Amino acid sequence: METERRVGVAVDFSACSRKALTWAVDNIVRNGDHLILITVLPEGNYEEGEMQLWETTGSPLIPLKEFTDPIVRKKYGVKADPETLEIASLAASQKEVEVLMKIYWGDPREKICVAIDNIPLSCIVIGNRGLGKLKRVLLGSVSNFVVNNGSCPVTVVKSTEEEH
């Protein structure tokens, strides 16, 4: 039996990812777990040497207490919504879990799979935007890619059209 579970949730700070985070907190996360929020930002040209280093490996694991600071979020280029931070904060206090943020830059499909292996994660929860067939073919489904290529159990939380 695992002593330290690392539950990952892919977040892009949308309604869909908030639903996935809420579902994970309500159904999977338990006392003593590490809840790791994984976000993937578009690749960019960063002046700072740190950002160039992290572009390959992802950021260090950032404790929620640090990540709630707007200055820290700005340093990483993340625009987090208050609701996602509130869900994570409640999970940290009510379920006694350590909440950490991990940021990657690049293609979300590939970087989420990298996170699964590098952290490593016990399981991951990801939202599904419910793209139509044409959009899914053109854009590619992140959740579908992770289900087929991820090396840990993957739970996809579907959202409905009204939730977008």
How many other C-beta atoms can be found within 10 angstroms of the C-beta atom of residue 48? 9
pTM for the model stands at: 0.87
What is the reported pLDDT for 1? 45
Question: What domains can be seen in the chain, in order of their start residue?
Answer: 6-163 (3.40.50.620)
What does the block give as tokens for 123?
Answer: 């399981």
Cα(62)–Cα(66) distance, rounded to whole angstroms? 7
Opening angle at CA 28, ends 27 and 32, nearest 5:
130
Q: What is the pLDDT of residues 71-121, one digit of tens each?
A: 988 888 889 999 999 999 999 999 999 999 999 998 999 999 999 999 999
Q: What is the pLDDT of residues 19-29, one digit of tens each?
A: 999 999 999 99
**Crossing angle, helix 15-27 and helix 82-94, to 10 degrees?**
10
89 or 128, which is more confident? 89
**Residues with Cβ within 8 Å of residue 50, at least 6 apart in sequence:** none
Give residue 67's identity as a one-letter amino acid code: F
Do the beta carbons of residue 61 and residue 101 sit within 8 Å?
Answer: yes
